[in-house]
Structure 1
Amino acid sequence: MRTSWRLLNKYIKIHKDIKDFADCLTRQGLEVEGIEKIGVSVDQVVVGKILKKDKHPDADKLTVCQVDVGNETLQIVCGAKNHQEGNKVVVSLVGSTLPNGLKIKKAKLRGVESSGMICSKTELGLEKESDGVWILSEDAQIGAPISQYLPEEDTIFHIAITANRSDCLSTLGIAREAGIIEEKNITYPEINLIEDKSLSKPDITITDTENCKRYASRIIKGVKVKESPVWLQEALLKYGARPINNMVDITNFVMFELGQPLHAFDYHKLENQKIIVRKGAKGEKLKALDGKDYELDESMLVIADAKKPVAIAGVMGGANSEVDDNTVDILLESAYFYPGTVRRTSKKLGLKSESSYRFERDIDPENTDRALDMAASLMAELGGTGKISEKTDLYPGNKIEPWIKVRKEFIKQILGFEIPSKTIENLFKLLEFPFKNEGEDYLIQFPPFRRDCSREIDAVEELIRTYGYEKLPETIYPIRFSVENFEAKERTEDKIRNFLVHLSLTEAMNFTFAKRGDLVKINPLEESKIITIKNPLSADYDSLRNSIFYSLMGNLKNNNENGNTDVSLFEIGNIFSQNQDKISEDKKLGIIQSGYIMTPNWAGGKEKVSFYHLKGLLEELFDVLKIKEIRFEKDSVSFLHPGKTASFYLGSKKIGLIGEVHPDMVELYDLKETPVYAELELNEILNERKEIIRFKKISKYQAVEREISFIMSKDSEAGKILGLIQNESPLVISASIKDIYSGKPIPEDKRSISYSFVLQSDERTLTDEEIKKIMDSIIKKSSVQFGASLREG
């Protein structure tokens, strides 16, 4: 954003010097990236007229000119070639000093006396290079100070505006910040507008009120399109814009001044003199003001007349309704368009403009009428005898800003110190936040131009930003924060990553954005919990993901499309969900595997991924993390196979799921192999993980290994008996499933599962009687609880 010292001082008198002011802006969050001086200050430099031009008697490249400077005629020797008798030129008188430091004295040049200098723009500091002397217009007044024809001295500020501060994309917005620095409110521009009630009001219709929340318009009749006055051209040049004509220049000037994009239509080029704000239609085309043809579609918002599109809303006008030298009547538009729609349209068309830049970042809908009236009054003034109609103002998106409670104690809690009540109230006034007292607390309204503020914490941020970060005391209230706990969790995450990478899995890093429709297809029962983004980057990223599964399936699909079906990926990332008004953010570990675990070798050895392989990987991970007593139970999840899905528990807490991906998902993502997937509640894992490892003496007594086989129903869960064995006695130090068998002589509806476990005491050698007692207890409990019978032989 560019603005200038003089432009700002129209709104507020700034008493600080330029450098201090720039430093203050930067401290308030508006980084001044550069300061640029423009214009020149020269004395004793005037307008002259060349009365006579002769060749120099002793130098072919010089001429001797007689120049009228108003009160006398001077003889000046000149080396340029582009001047002629009758030209109005710039004359630096004897005794003057030019911007480049050259002092003008009476001198003899090759024997001919010269009393002054005819100047080029380079010598005046206006251009780096010039082809000759500066030839002024014929109406320049002889003897007048050249300062009347020079850009005024000024300082341009180049300011970096962050995406959330759309209110500062104007001189008005920067002036508000200057008001905070100067501790006084700004003066808003006076608008002298006289309506002609005999004129018809603009005929406006909005059919897409979701994407056009406000549309205000006036008709200005009887204008003359011509070159803008010098002051307007200079203002636009300060803003970095090119002057075009008075009508177009006014719309650009008001946009830079107030931050509200405007557009001027030639009223008589509009079919039936009507404006309709609607969605585009497939196949519609529009030649824009840049001379290029653009194809429109239903996702775009357009401004149309009764027959055709005449502008791409918020982006650029059409050539079929542009203001030109023959324009007499103008329809002026000032509107509020939905930021997401403008952003998507601009991106899809590859078309950027100063208007789209502002609309994309969300502008103040309450500013439309001020900008409309300011531009209309200027058009009537600079266009000659222009008359202004009454306003048509359609405002379907009008709403009352809510009152937000700001607690004094909360301010102190966040900042760590107390700001006096009087200071808080003064800052609210400078910020233009309406407020009222509620005991020691406040009720405030955020003004509509502050689109980035909506919560109590935003008010606290504004208070400290404007109060001054440099005023924070050196000693503040202590904040409880466990660095050890944070570092331990970070180390655990790194350990998980290293473990999985060493097993040849590849880490994926995905955006947390997702497409709502895709999330619903994966888990329709969770649709109400999906969080929708208000201003999405695109239609494909309109929500926050509620599962790592969504992202990893997308990665797998991309791999498949590129011929890679042997994929093992994992991601550690956040997912989001909402339950009524509560929004939660959880960290998850997701693992997906597809195809072969390893590439077939020369001997033909290969192994496909499976539920049990991934389950074993997880068990090994838990072992590495020193997390014990994990149990698996059958479960069902919408995106996993109903008969091949399990959840795993740590105590009574469900901490994850594992399963083969549902055939419907395989078809939806057009996968060539059926993958397996697991997801862990990483927060629970990180909380359970104990970083402090204590020494435990290795038992010197002999360990005893035993095996036991049960015959049970094929529907029975092997993990339940495994958990029973692990929890049977403190003497059981490890247990695992050794073998699963189906076939003769086992009945068809049953299977045999063998378990291996190790018993050991730290105090003694175990007796056969102790071991038998544990074995008998396991056999009895397995029979009673799970209907399992001991397999003999």
Structure 2
Amino acid sequence: MKFSENWLRQHVPTTATRDELAGTLTAIGLEVEGMTVLGESLDGVVVAQIVSAEKHPEADRLQVCQVDTGNGTVQIVCGAPNARAGLKAPLATVGANLPGGMAIKAAKLRGVESFGMLCSAKELGVDPDASGLLELPADATVGAKLADYLGLPDATIELKLTPNRADCFSVRGIAFDVAAAKGSEVAPFEASPVAAQGEATMAVELNAGADAPRYVGRVIESLNAAAPTPAWMAERLRRSGIRPISLLVDVTQYVMLELGQPMHAFDRDLLKGPVGVRRARAGESVKLLDGRDAALDPEFLAITDADRVVALAGVMGGFDTRVTDITRNVFLEAAHFAPDAIIGRGRKLGLHTDAGHRFERGVDPELPRIAIEYATKLILDVAGGMPGPVVEAALPEHLPQPQTITLRRARLARVLGLEVADVEVERILRALGLSVAATADGWSITTPTRRFDLAIEEDLIEEIARIHGYDAIPTTLPAGSSRLVAPSESRVDEGTARRQLAARDYLEAVNYAFVDADLLAKWNATDGAVPLANPLSAELGVMRTALLPGLVAAVARNAARQQSRVRLFELGNVFAANGANAPIETQRIAAAACGAADGEQWAAKSHPIGFHDLKGDLDSLAAMAGAQLEYRPSQPGWAHPGRSADVYRDGTRLGWIGQLHPRLQRTLDLDSDVVAFELDLAGLLDRAIPKAHALSRYPSVRRDLAFVVAEATPWAAVSATVRQAAGPSLRDLVLFDRYAGKGVETGFKSLAMGLILQEESRTLTEHDVDAVVAAVIAALQQTHGAAIRS
């Protein structure tokens, strides 16, 4: 929010200096982001008029001007391209000192005497424009001090407002906070009703329910739209960061800045009526004021004229019904739109407007009629015209109502840690525009409709704290002791998991929980995606359903920047739609890698990272929880055929591991193969509480067996069969060889394994060992059709 210091002081009289005012604003939570001082040291600068302008005899780009100063005529040599007879412009007389230290003296330019300098806005320090002389309106009084005419000196103050302070997007809204902080009162604002002088009206219809519960309009006939904007108004707009355009547009902008109510002016002769508000229909479009054609859908609120869309409610007016200098009859409108109906609509079209910025945060529903009356007066004072009666359509049941909040004296003291005198509490709240009634335990507060941020007792306590002064709250160290909570032994700590992957040469990535819907579509992972009602951008429009799309995108960005070996992991939540309820959140862990399996070195030959390299990293992570993972072949749409597997633990699927499909890698602009995994974190890190037991005093026995099984039979299935058949005597099972080739039938493979047997209470006999081996052989033959390799 940018505004003029003098404009603010008009609403809240205060003796505070400029620096004190800026410090106060920041101290009460309205952070001053920037301040530019305008028009200092303008003594000796007057309003002047060029009587004649002749070409300089010795210079093509200079003119010799005779200038009326109101106290005689002086000769000025000027090089401004817009210098011309009849122009009124600022004149720095001899002896004046301009901002920046320039001293004005009589001089000769190419042999012609000059007694002063005609000035641009930049030379006066009021605007960065240096393209020519600052042109003053025709009604400017020749000889008047320029500082008095333009209301200088002044300062442009820019605030960095938090989204909850919608009421401070107006000069008058800021004035209430300054009045409370400086012990002053906001000056009364007069917007007396302007009596109708004609009967011209425009019917208004509301068909959007709670989205648009109030719409106010007025027709003004026979005005002069080409009348120039008054200098005082144009200057206040410039100092607020808005370029003056034309009287009708400038008045609507001025009212918005002063009161906080966005407005719009339609050319009445281009409307058929009635004017209405409704949801847009699929396929409708409107040409906006900036010339772009906006395609609409039912998410947008539309302003209609005889059911034809003529403006985008709360965002921008339409091109076809805009006012111009030839407009003779105008329809002014001011409305109240619910924030939820406006939020994100402008961003969806790539627009950011002052009106949308305010409506998204909330505008006082009581302002539309006041704004119409005030704008009418401003227009009539300059452009004349004949106003008709004010027309209003409202749905009272949908309008925000003032809230009554109880503020307890004891609660206030407890939260702030100090006693604030009752009289001070009441002064602060009343200065902020709240209605205060004392009760036995504190106060009953009725909030104004402009304060959308005041809803509960803590909101009022915050108001007292920031206005009374945070520096007035004593610093007190907290007392008491903290209860230490021992980490659970039934789960591996997340920090331990992070350190384990970091130790295996992975870097942790932190990605947004919002992703591009198109990215999820490339992964075929859009099922259950939750769209955001108010996305930060189109690229962050949905909640992620998996970690890998964002993580692999990070791998691709690194690879595109000449990082040939990338290894990233991430712990985070994924989200799935849950009907009308809140989305289901699941915590997952994922890793993705490309390039060489090991860092560059001289002692070993490098090879690209593959499935088994990544599987080793995942197994090391599972080992911390004592987990035995099972890998079953799978082929989701994003996975390489034959190089991916679902990961199970105790029969429960945890996630997936494998290589990305070459087609997906090309789509993601990845030149090298990428391997990755993603698993549910809870299932991976849960572990049984460790129990100590004595080591067996009896020797172990090892028996090695080699079986021929079908190539498609996974080791995980063979291992499960062997463990079940061997029984409790089996202490460990080791796969030490896999062979396929000469001597083994095509389509089969040989698996050589070692069975390590041991008992707790006795030494195993040969009979015991033979029985276990026989049971294993029989189970493998029956379950997998395995045969002992000869």
Contact 1:622 1:628 in 2 (8 A): yes
- Supply the distance in 2 between the matched residues of 1:521 and 1:442 (Cα, whole angstroms): 59
* Per-residue deviation, 1:475: 1.7
Residue 316 of structure 2 aligns with an amino acid whose one-letter code is M
- Supply the distance in 2 between the matched residues of 1:309 and 1:142 (Cα, whole angstroms): 48
Contact 1:640 1:659 in 2 (8 A): no
Q: 1:483 to 1:134 in 2, by over 3 A?
A: same
Contact 1:342 1:359 in 2 (8 A): no
- Supply the distance in 2 between the matched residues of 1:187 and 1:719 (Cα, whole angstroms): 86
- Supply the distance in 1 between the matched residues of 2:378 and 2:593 (Cα, whole angstroms): 67
Q: 1:753 to 1:520 in 2, by over 3 A?
A: same
Q: 1:435 to 1:324 in 2, by over 3 A?
A: same
Residue 371 of structure 2 corresponds to: 371
* Per-residue deviation, 1:621: 2.5
Contact 2:737 2:751 in 1 (8 A): yes
- Supply the distance in 2 between the matched residues of 1:146 and 1:402 (Cα, whole angstroms): 46
- Which residue of the other structure, out of 339, 346, 350, is the alignment partner of 2:343? 339
Residue 544 of structure 1 corresponds to: 543
Query: How many positions carry a matched residue from both structures?
Result: 742
- Of residues 203-212 and 227-236 in structure 1, the stretch that sits farther from structure 2 once superposed is 203-212
Residue 603 of structure 2 corresponds to: none
Contact 1:404 1:456 in 2 (8 A): no
- Supply the distance in 1 between the matched residues of 2:653 and 2:421 (Cα, whole angstroms): 48
Residue 5 of structure 1 aligns with an amino acid whose one-letter code is E
Residue 706 of structure 1 corresponds to: 702
* Per-residue deviation, 1:633: 9.8
- Supply the distance in 2 between the matched residues of 1:792 and 1:403 (Cα, whole angstroms): 84
The root-mean-square deviation of aligned C-alpha atoms, in Å, is: 7.0
- Supply the distance in 1 between the matched residues of 2:706 and 2:427 (Cα, whole angstroms): 80
- Supply the distance in 1 between the matched residues of 2:404 and 2:718 (Cα, whole angstroms): 57
Contact 2:701 2:757 in 1 (8 A): yes
Contact 2:223 2:328 in 1 (8 A): yes
* Per-residue deviation, 1:265: 0.5
- Supply the distance in 1 between the matched residues of 2:558 and 2:33 (Cα, whole angstroms): 44
- Supply the distance in 2 between the matched residues of 1:706 and 1:408 (Cα, whole angstroms): 79
Residue 326 of structure 1 aligns with an amino acid whose one-letter code is I
Q: 1:223 to 1:677 in 2, by over 3 A?
A: same
- For residues 543-587 of structure 1, give each alpha carbon's deviation from its aligned partner in whole angstroms, at most 9, with x where no partner exists: 433443565688899999xxxxx9997543233468787777554
Q: TM-score, normalised by structure 2?
A: 0.67
* Per-residue deviation, 1:176: 3.6
Residue 324 of structure 1 corresponds to: 324
Residue 475 of structure 1 corresponds to: 477
- Supply the distance in 2 between the matched residues of 1:100 and 1:595 (Cα, whole angstroms): 60
Q: 1:267 to 1:469 in 2, by over 3 A?
A: same
Residue 196 of structure 1 aligns with an amino acid whose one-letter code is A
1:250 matched to 2:245: no
Residue 680 of structure 1 corresponds to: 679
Residue 628 of structure 1 corresponds to: 626
Contact 1:41 1:147 in 2 (8 A): no
- Of residues 211-220 and 30-39 in structure 1, the stretch that sits farther from structure 2 once superposed is 211-220
- Supply the distance in 1 between the matched residues of 2:442 and 2:726 (Cα, whole angstroms): 58
Residue 371 of structure 1 aligns with an amino acid whose one-letter code is A
Residue 249 of structure 2 aligns with an amino acid whose one-letter code is V
1:233 matched to 2:234: yes
Residue 504 of structure 2 corresponds to: 499
SS at match of 1:473: coil
* Per-residue deviation, 1:477: 4.6
* Per-residue deviation, 1:496: 1.7
- Supply the distance in 1 between the matched residues of 2:253 and 2:96 (Cα, whole angstroms): 38
Superposed counterparts of 1:68-217, under 5 Å: 78-80=75-77, 120-121=118-119, 148-162=148-162, 165-182=165-182, 186-187=186-187, 189-196=189-196, 199=199, 201-205=201-205, 215-217=215-217
Superposed counterparts of 1:289-368, under 5 Å: 289-290=289-290, 292-294=291-293, 296-298=295-297, 301-306=301-306, 308-335=308-335, 336=337, 338-345=342-349, 347=350, 351-359=351-359, 363-365=363-365, 367-368=367-368
- For residues 723-747 of structure 1, give each alpha carbon's deviation from its aligned partner in whole angstroms, at most 9, with x where no partner exists: 8799958x94x555668999xxxxx
- Of residues 225-234 and 166-175 in structure 1, the stretch that sits farther from structure 2 once superposed is 166-175
Residue 511 of structure 1 corresponds to: 512
Q: 1:125 to 1:633 in 2, by over 3 A?
A: closer
- Supply the distance in 1 between the matched residues of 2:543 and 2:41 (Cα, whole angstroms): 58
Contact 2:104 2:116 in 1 (8 A): no
Q: 1:520 to 1:247 in 2, by over 3 A?
A: same
Q: 1:151 to 1:575 in 2, by over 3 A?
A: same
Residue 628 of structure 1 aligns with an amino acid whose one-letter code is G
* Per-residue deviation, 1:446: 7.6
Contact 1:339 1:535 in 2 (8 A): yes
SS at match of 1:588: strand
Residue 573 of structure 1 corresponds to: 572
Unpaired segments ≥5 residues, structure 1: 54-60, 561-565, 599-604, 743-749
1:221 matched to 2:214: no
SS at match of 1:217: strand
* Per-residue deviation, 1:439: 10
* Per-residue deviation, 1:266: 0.7
Contact 2:39 2:147 in 1 (8 A): no
Superposed counterparts of 1:387-398, under 5 Å: 387-395=387-395, 398=398
Contact 2:515 2:544 in 1 (8 A): yes
Contact 1:277 1:304 in 2 (8 A): yes
- Supply the distance in 2 between the matched residues of 1:649 and 1:722 (Cα, whole angstroms): 17
Q: 1:371 to 1:589 in 2, by over 3 A?
A: farther
Superposed counterparts of 1:408-419, under 5 Å: 417=417
Contact 2:210 2:398 in 1 (8 A): no
Contact 1:589 1:682 in 2 (8 A): yes
Residue 24 of structure 1 corresponds to: 24
Contact 2:596 2:607 in 1 (8 A): yes
- Supply the distance in 1 between the matched residues of 2:702 and 2:404 (Cα, whole angstroms): 68
* Per-residue deviation, 1:157: 0.9
Residue 769 of structure 1 corresponds to: 764
- Supply the distance in 1 between the matched residues of 2:86 and 2:179 (Cα, whole angstroms): 51
* Per-residue deviation, 1:224: 2.6
* Per-residue deviation, 1:152: 3.1
- For residues 384-407 of structure 1, give each alpha carbon's deviation from its aligned partner in whole angstroms, at most 9, with x where no partner exists: 243142233345992556979999
- For residues 742-763 of structure 1, give each alpha carbon's deviation from its aligned partner in whole angstroms, at most 9, with x where no partner exists: 9xxxxxxx999986465799xx
- Of residues 158-167 and 134-143 in structure 1, the stretch that sits farther from structure 2 once superposed is 134-143
Q: 1:443 to 1:782 in 2, by over 3 A?
A: farther
Contact 1:597 1:609 in 2 (8 A): yes
Contact 1:120 1:133 in 2 (8 A): yes
Residue 13 of structure 1 corresponds to: 13
Superposed counterparts of 1:431-450, under 5 Å: 449=450
Q: 1:147 to 1:676 in 2, by over 3 A?
A: closer
- Supply the distance in 1 between the matched residues of 2:399 and 2:776 (Cα, whole angstroms): 68
- Supply the distance in 2 between the matched residues of 1:108 and 1:407 (Cα, whole angstroms): 70
* Per-residue deviation, 1:227: 1.2
Contact 2:204 2:392 in 1 (8 A): yes
* Per-residue deviation, 1:780: 8.9
- Of residues 173-182 and 363-372 in structure 1, the stretch that sits farther from structure 2 once superposed is 363-372
Contact 1:631 1:719 in 2 (8 A): no
Contact 2:104 2:117 in 1 (8 A): no
Contact 1:708 1:755 in 2 (8 A): yes
* Per-residue deviation, 1:161: 3.3
- Supply the distance in 2 between the matched residues of 1:45 and 1:516 (Cα, whole angstroms): 60
Contact 1:405 1:441 in 2 (8 A): no
Contact 2:517 2:526 in 1 (8 A): no
Q: 1:127 to 1:266 in 2, by over 3 A?
A: closer
Superposed counterparts of 1:479-490, under 5 Å: 480=482, 489-490=494-495
Residue 58 of structure 2 corresponds to: none
